[in-house]
Amino acid sequence: MSRLDSFIRRLQAQRACLSEAVEQIRGVDGFVLELGLGNGRTYDHLREICPDREIYVFDRQVNAHPDCVPAEDHLFLGEITATLPQALARLGANAALVHTDVGTGDQKSNERLAATIAPMMRGIMLVGGIVISDQALPAPGLTPLALPDGVKPGRYFMNRAV
């Protein structure tokens, strides 16, 4: 499979997981965290599918399309290991949905980052909340969920906070 094919499948998987998660958190009243703004495409999608929820965004710096830059009071800039604790202090453990796509081309470094943030992630989530991620997130209190139809295991990850 070419990298173009693989990339299209990854984006479709991401979108399918987001839709599925939004369905599953209907009864969980909380906010949305987007870890990794990037060019802002997924943030824009989250705004569309979660019009009634507060969305907070995390990134090292803003490189997004001007239409996809969150308001300053919904933006945490800096290293995620520093900004997640800041968000917890300010917002409490009230996240119903977390999407994290902070991976780079370096798989080893991705795994290290995932292992660091996985336990922090659970700490900011409501019970019943869902985290969707481009890396596996093994952590106490996070239970892997079945992926939507058509999403190959390992292409994307969904976990519920229990």
Q: Report the C-alpha gap between 30 and 100 in whole angstroms.
A: 17
| Number of residues located near a copy of itself, criterion CB under 8 A | 23
Gap between the terminal Cα atoms of the chain: 37
Minimum CB separation from a copy of itself for residue 5, in Å?
7
Q: Which contiguous run of DSSP H or E holds residue 128?
A: strand 125-133
Minimum CB separation from a copy of itself for residue 4, in Å?
4
4 binds a copy of itself (CB under 8 A): yes
Minimum CB separation from a copy of itself for residue 120, in Å?
26
152 binds a copy of itself (CB under 8 A): no
* Local structure of 127: helix, strand or coil: strand
Are 96 and 129 spatial neighbours (Cβ–Cβ below 8 Å)?
A: yes
Which 37-96 residues touch a copy of itself, going by CB under 8 A?
39-42, 44-45, 47-49, 65, 67-68
Q: What is the distance, to the nearest Å, from the Cα of residue 6 to the centroid of all Cα atoms in its chain?
A: 20
Q: What is the distance, to the nearest Å, from the Cα of residue 126 to the centroid of all Cα atoms in its chain?
A: 14
Minimum CB separation from a copy of itself for residue 143, in Å?
26
Binding site for a copy of itself (CB under 8 A): 2-5, 7-8, 11-12, 14-15, 39-42, 44-45, 47-49, 65, 67-68, 105
